[in-house]
Amino acid sequence: MRQVLLTALSLCASVFAQSSTVDTYVTTEAPLAKAGLLANIGASGSKSEGAKAGVVIASPSNVNPNYLYTWTRDSSVVFKYIIDEFTSGADTTLLGQIQNFITAESTLQQVSNPSGTVSSGGLGEPKFNIDETAFTGAWGRPQRDGPALRATAMIGYANWLVKNTSVSNVVSTLWPMIELDLNYVASNWNQSTFDLWEEINSSSFFTTAVQHRALREGAILATTLGQTSVVSNYQTQAANLLCFLQSYWNPTGGYITANTGGGRSGRDANTHLASIHTFDPAAGCDAATFQPCSDRALSSLKVYVDAFRSIYTVNSGVASNAAVATGRYPEDSYMGGSAWFLAVAGVAEQLYDSLIVWKAQGTLNVTSTSLAFFQQFESSVAVGSYASSTATYTTLTAAVKTFADGFLAINAKYTPANGSLSEQFSRNDGTELSAADLTWSYAATLTSFNARAGIASPGWGAAGLVVPSVCQTSGGGGGGSGSAGTVAVTFNVDATTFLGEDIYITGNTDSLQNWSTDSAMILSPANYPIWSITVNVPASSDIQYKYIRKVNGAFESWESDPNNEFQSPASGTFTRNDTWR
């Protein structure tokens, strides 16, 4: 009995110490992270020299790696945080920044780029130069999450303007920009896209989830503004997206599969980041939209976290139910495949979001799907519903809070005294790696702090949604037969490369970039030396293609003649297995 008591006291002391560590981290890091974030926004940011007003640089790092660009995705995530801070009244000094962002994005929407013009696909261009000109080098394009995330950020500001100015003001200023992005999403959601990490061209859970959210809240805003002509289309395509979203769930593995192509396991930070970026407190623990406390999202989170327990040296000796450092995905090799501050903070945020909902509804449900997640903390817990008055509810929520704090404690451990946050920290010893002062690292840290404090962003209409029994249009990029008139083809090539050298593909169709070496598509080396990509190509067509090599993005060589060639099938999927010639 004495030993049990001592063990319990020791555990309580450890939990208290961790909580105290995180309390201190939040207090000291919050102002530093906010300052770091604002320093990366042009034109007045101290580390954003050369950036136009309102342009968010991904990082001041301009060599190994060069992140001195502005990404639509990163910028929108950053300004979603800024807009939430302003509209909630937490920081009323940010209005000028928001107005600059609106102006900058209105310019970037109109910039012709390798993905097209504003009316021919250009909104899917992932990144631009910080002087608001097009980036014309080779890249993984298009990336279709950017327009959805930008629309979501701007809708938050539009809703505030409706309440504090007038409908006509929003219709004449913000709505034209928001409508461009929403129309792009509605028209292109079922086309293939490069994923969150810009490596796999298929369909991506993160992209599908944020597209679904954008169209739902876009339909609500359009109704408020009297723009009724677009509402039906947005609602229809949102229903199709919700239907397609279900296809990412892997019931056997108990996790969300991040991408439909690419050849990896599918265990990926993509999935929990999607959950927190589509959090709607009013939707409770809805599984169809993969809300943070849903049984699917919690089960998936456990599988994802567990995938890193044994592969990172910094996780050695950590208990099987304690927090660990995590990265993008376990097969990652970029910059050594180390831990990402934003991925770790994202795990904590999903758990804090769950606690927000459980507290609001006064109950916690354990299903057969989420049972393994909860059994980490109480092995005897059974499937059932536990009211806030029960001991099981108290035990589980306290354990989840401790678990969440553990992830922030990890980030605290590897954050330097000056509060700077790079992209990654080493899987071996925790030293900072890759791009310094990553703006998204700062934003992810700040939103996790807000969630810990019980602060949630406004909802977006996720409550009470019903999944259609039949999807009207299948998702693009390898999840099935592709969009109308296309089939999903996976290209695999066995090719040995050296550090900095990558394999790309181009060919005789628009989807294969019409033999362009500049816009050729990079393949994923996840199963090296096999490089892979999944592309939707025209059905029942003669397809010709070749692989090329690039070194640090610069063209090096074609493979030898003749062209690779095949007849694509009329439907279904197809795989090509090649060896570099």
For residue 4, what pLDDT band results from cuts at 50, 70 and 90? very low
Is residue 167 situated within a structural domain?
Answer: no
Percent of the chain with pLDDT over 90: 82
Whether pLDDT at 273 is above 90: yes
CATH code, domain with 563:
2.60.40.10
> What is the maximal distance between C-alpha atoms in the chain?
78
Is residue 64 situated within a structural domain?
Answer: no
Q: How much is the average pLDDT of 94-115? A: 97
Q: What pLDDT, in 10s, does the model give residues 520-575? A: 888 888 788 999 888 888 888 889 999 999 987 789 999 998 999 999 888 778 89
Lowest-confidence region among 241-255, 317-331, 452-466, 487-501: 487-501
Q: How much is the average pLDDT of 162-167? A: 96
Query: How is the beta sheet containing 530-538 ordered, strand by strand?
Result: 524-527, 530-538, 486-494, 573-579
Q: Are residues 341 and 408 in the same domain?
A: yes
Q: Are residues 402 and 503 in the same domain?
A: no
Whether pLDDT at 197 is above 50: yes
Is residue 312 situated within a structural domain?
Answer: yes
Q: How much is the average pLDDT of 96-101? A: 98
Whether pLDDT at 405 is above 50: yes
pLDDT at 524: 83
For residue 580, what pLDDT band results from cuts at 50, 70 and 90? very high
Q: How much is the average pLDDT of 185-213? A: 94
pLDDT at 474: 44
For residue 13, what pLDDT band results from cuts at 50, 70 and 90? low
Is residue 106 situated within a structural domain?
Answer: no
Q: Are residues 303 and 427 in the same domain?
A: yes
pLDDT at 472: 62
Range of the domain at 521: 486-579
Whether pLDDT at 69 is above 60: yes
Q: Are residues 374 and 491 in the same domain?
A: no
Tally of domains within the chain: 2
Q: What pLDDT, in 10s, does the model give residues 204-255? A: 999 999 999 999 999 999 999 999 999 999 999 999 999 999 999 999 999 9
For residue 481, what pLDDT band results from cuts at 50, 70 and 90? very low
Is 440 known to sit in a ligand binding site?
no
pLDDT at 235: 96
Question: Are 449 and 223 a contacting pair, CB within 8 Å?
Answer: no
Whether pLDDT at 485 is above 90: no
Is residue 426 situated within a structural domain?
Answer: yes
C-alpha to C-alpha distance for 441 and 359, rounded to whole angstroms = 28
For residue 3, what pLDDT band results from cuts at 50, 70 and 90? very low
Q: Are residues 423 and 501 in the same domain?
A: no
Among the three residues 439, 471, 500, which one is the final residue of a domain in this structure?
439
Whether pLDDT at 67 is above 90: yes
* Cα first-last separation, the chain: 71
User: DSSP code of 289?
Assistant: T
CATH code, domain with 362:
1.50.10.10
Beta bridge partners of 484: none
Percent of the chain with pLDDT over 70: 95
Question: Which amino acid appears at position 563 of this protein?
Answer: N
Q: How much is the average pLDDT of 195-211? A: 95
Tokens found for residue 113: 């780029």
For residue 475, what pLDDT band results from cuts at 50, 70 and 90? very low
pLDDT at 525: 80
Question: Are 472 and 240 a contacting pair, CB within 8 Å?
Answer: yes
Is residue 155 situated within a structural domain?
Answer: no
Alpha carbon distances (Å) from 351 to 246, 310, 346, 369? 22, 22, 9, 17
Whether pLDDT at 2 is above 60: no
Q: How much is the average pLDDT of 307-311? A: 97
- Per the prediction, the chain carries an average pLDDT of 92
Alpha carbon distances (Å) from 488 to 191, 194, 288, 480, 482? 10, 14, 25, 7, 5
Q: Are residues 315 and 433 in the same domain?
A: yes
For residue 473, what pLDDT band results from cuts at 50, 70 and 90? low
Q: Are residues 328 and 416 in the same domain?
A: yes
Q: How much is the average pLDDT of 138-164? A: 97
Q: How much is the average pLDDT of 108-123? A: 95
pLDDT at 526: 74
- List, by residue number, the catalytic residues: 195, 198
Question: Which amino acid appears at position 367 of this protein?
Answer: T
Short-list 134, 154, 25, CA closest to 77: 154
Is residue 555 situated within a structural domain?
Answer: yes
pLDDT at 237: 94
